Structure formats: C-alpha cells, structure tokens
Homo-oligomer: A and B are copies of this chain.
Amino acid sequence: MIMKVNCAIDCNMHDIIHDLQILIRQPSSASNKQNLVRCANLVAAIMTKANIKTELIYLNDREGDVPPIVFGEVKSRSNPSGKTILFYNHYDVQPEGPVELWNNADPFSGDVDGNYIFGRGSSDDKGELITRIKAVEYYLKETGDVPCNIKFIVEGEEEIGSLHIQEFLTKYKKKFACDGIIWEFGLVDSKDRAVIHLGLKGILSVDLVARGPSHDIHSSLAVLVENPAWILVCALDTICDKNGRILINEWYRDIRITTEEEIRIIENEPFDEDDFKNEYGIKKFVNNLDGVELRKALIEKPTCNICGLSSGYTGQGSKTVLPAKAMARLEFRLVPDMDPEKQFARFQNHLVERGFENSIELKMIDGERPARTSINNPFVKSVKSAATETFGKAVISVSSAGSGPMYHFKKILGAPCICIGGSYKYNRSHSPNEFARLDLINKATKCMASIMQTYG
C-alpha cells in the first residue's frame, strides 16, 4: 500500500513544488492582516483540492481581527472509529527583512535552484505544511481511503506567539479531538538523520523602553540631561552574568530536574559540533561547552537573548544626538515547569529591586509554556518506526530548543505531541535566504504517509 503512495509522491513532485510555490508567493507576516486571510484561503483551496473537508474557523465576533484557523478533516472509511492524527501547522511567516541580505531580491520568490526552493516560509512552515497535505492527498488518490482519521489545524499567529490558540482549542475542543499530534516542524540534521523532538521550550518575550527628553536633542546637553540609552544599558547589564546565568531572583526555582531517562536520551543524541560552527560562522560555543554538556544545555538551560536594540542615530555619517528613547527586545527561553506569567512577575520585581521601577517601562509581548511528551507514549514508537523507514535513521530528542503552543495542545486536547518533519537543520528559517531541500520535502511527505499507516 505505502509503496504505491510513495511512488505517487515521487511522480508528482512537480505538483507538490507548484502548490508550495503558491503558498510562498503569498506573503503572510503578521503585519498585514489581509495577506494572512489571503494565505488562509490559498491553504484551504489546496486542502480542498486534496479532498480534505476544509473550513475557515474564525473566533466569534472577531472576523477580520484574528486570522482564521484552516481546519481540515478526512474520516477513514475502513476505520472510522480508529485513531485520529492531528497535523498542527501555521501559514503565517516571520518578517522577511532585511531584504538586502537576500541573494534573490524577492524574499517571496519561491524560486527553485537544483535541490533547493527559496523564500520566506519555504521551510517554516509552508514547506512542512505541504508535505502533510500531499501525504493525505496521494494516500487518498492511490488507495481510495486513509488508514486512520486525519485532522488539520493550520493557524495564522504562530510567529507572534499563537495569541489565540488557547481560545480556539478550548472553544472547539470536541471538533479538534485526536489521539496524537504531529507538530508543525521537524528537523533533519546534517547527516540526514530525522530528529524527533518530544518537546519544546517555553518563551517569554518582553520590550524594555527607557525614555529621556521629549525629542532627540543636541548631544552637547548630555552634561545636563540623562540619556535613556545609558539607563537601558545599565538595566540590561543586571540581568545575566558573563556566563549567561540569569541573575533574576528565583528565576530557576520552578525548573523540573531532567530525569535519568531524559539524560540517557540526550547522551545518545548525535550533534555535529563542527557542522554547527561552520554553518553559523562561530569559533566556539557559549562557555566553551561541548559534548554531552552542550546537548544538555540545549534542552535544559533557560536563556535570555537580546533580539534587538534601538536608540538614536546609527546611520551613515555623524549625528550628534542625545536620544529621546532607547529600546531593547528580550526573549527568555523557558524549560519545564517555568510559567511565563510567573517569570514575568519575577523580572518585574528584579527591575524594581535594582532601582529601575520608574525609569524602565516593561511590557510582555508574548509567553508560552514549555511542554514535553514522554518517550514511553506509544505514539512515539509509531512515529519513530515511520521516520526510520523513510529517512533511514531517526534520532529521539527530549526537546527542541524552539518554542510553540504545545502546552495548550497537550493540556486541552490531552494528546501527545511529536515534532517530525523535513526541515533541514540549517535552513535559515527566521533569517535571510530561508530555503527548503526538495529531497527532504519528498521524504517528509512519505514519512507522513507512513505515520498514518503505522498508527492507523
């Protein structure tokens, strides 16, 4: 059965690429709501064409405000009371800038060059989404059925913290009911091994703003007027020590200790350190980590990252100003059982304790809890066997270093979540020149078909 499906996937790569190009060429970052709705409709059209029963779901009275979820469903005719797999994906993408760093002037080109297809979203997450839709499409076409029930949730706010997914899941809990969830992404490492992540880190994003004079003023006045950029630098420099350890009181308090079983998994997980260094142009890892300690850090270490700094003038030529405002965007990654709301309150306290209560405005941008699925869940076995069959080798990982709304899916739908997919590890997602590898799109499509068959 699966041979026929795989064969159809091989024969129809032009169709898979074509529909992926349609999605890439429709920009869909959060800044333009109309684009999001256009993209949702394109996803729905491609799913409908695949014989998936599809609808756009809006939150009550919010049409136009919150981008819709594209919901899809296929009942198994031979096994209607069997298990249900839910594919979770998203059609929104990260902002494409800085445009001048893209080799192709158009970040939404969808151009194919050899084994690569380029464009914002080509991997994250339109490239992953297309493999799931096409696995169902060709399974149906070749066999007239699917071996288990299938559902799709394709949301439009993943890149800005899945602001309404909890509300959607709560409201449509019955409609979305399922037994296992295939998460929106899965990595393939530089040795072509599929990496099966069983969890995600949590995230807390915040903006810090310091304000000075009412407008940017002549910098000779620095002797009289306090500069908000200095206040910001001072405040930022209280957050971590030189080794990246976060100095906020009780920051590490709620961390659940990594289990012996998790440590064993980490010890067995391959990680090519030189490939990583070459890809990112770095000479050493943070704190000179290596080996198991490095792999453990990826999974169990909370971080505080500066995503952006801005103040005054840094353009060409001299401009001697004392800026009116200075701003930093920080992002903390959280591990089980850290709660972003609680961590935010701790950060607020920290700024008060350090004397920045009146000089730094702190705003929470988004927060997501960490989540993990147990390696002993039977769904893990099905996924691993399918991935091994398709990719040749599959590696289990306790958690990705990335984040997403997995906590809500697990809690509300009560189903295990597993990250498995076809995103090359160094695919430049969130960066200029994002790409997907066509060989991996082919394999990931087959892998999804195989998961349906194995789990069904």
Cβ B307 vs Cβ A310 within 8 A: no
Decide if A415 is an interface residue (CB 8 Å cutoff). no
Cβ B320 vs Cβ A205 within 8 A: yes
* Chain B residues closer than 8 Å to A276, beta-carbon distance: 224
User: Considering only CB atoms and an 8 Å cut-off, how many residues of chain A contact the other chain?
Assistant: 89
Contact A308-B313, Cβ < 8 Å, known A221-B401, A234-B237: yes
Report the Cα distance A431→B321, complex, angstroms. Answer: 8
Report the Cα distance A218→B185, complex, angstroms. Answer: 14
Decide if A281 is an interface residue (CB 8 Å cutoff). yes
* Chain B residues closer than 8 Å to A327, beta-carbon distance: 314
Cβ B224 vs Cβ A318 within 8 A: no
Cβ B317 vs Cβ A31 within 8 A: yes
Report the Cα distance A161→B319, complex, angstroms. Answer: 10
Mask: chain A, 226-258; 1 = CB below 8 Å from B; 0 = not: 110110111011001010100000000000000
| Interface of chain A residues 262 through 287 with chain B (CB within 8 A) | 276, 280-282, 285-286
Report the Cα distance A295→B129, complex, angstroms. Answer: 66
B101, B160, B308: the one within 8 Å of A311 (CB): B308
* Chain B residues closer than 8 Å to A205, beta-carbon distance: 318, 320
The residue in A159, A297, A311, A432 that gathers the most chain B C-beta atoms within 10 A of its C-beta is: A311
- Distance in Å: Cβ of A93 to nearest Cβ of chain B: 11
* Chain B residues closer than 8 Å to A319, beta-carbon distance: 94-95, 159, 307-308, 430
Number of copies of chain A assembled together: 2
Contact A222-B303, Cβ < 8 Å, known A213-B281, A242-B234, A430-B216: yes
Minimum CB distance partner of A222 in chain B: B305
B219, B303, B306: the one within 8 Å of A233 (CB): B306
Cβ A306 vs Cβ B323 within 8 A: yes
Report the Cα distance A94→B224, complex, angstroms. Answer: 22
Report the Cα distance A432→B217, complex, angstroms. Answer: 9
Cβ A400 vs Cβ B224 within 8 A: no
Cβ A307 vs Cβ B329 within 8 A: no
| Interface of chain A residues 323 through 372 with chain B (CB within 8 A) | 323, 326-329, 331, 333, 365-366
Decide if A7 is an interface residue (CB 8 Å cutoff). no
Would you list 17 pairs from A and B whose C-beta atoms are within 8 A, ordered by A residue? A31-B317, A95-B315, A159-B317, A213-B281, A215-B280, A218-B402, A219-B331, A220-B401, A221-B401, A223-B286, A223-B297, A236-B237, A305-B322, A307-B321, A308-B323, A312-B329, A314-B329
8 nearest CB pairs, A to B? A214-B281, A308-B312, A308-B314, A229-B306, A222-B305, A237-B237, A220-B401, A213-B280
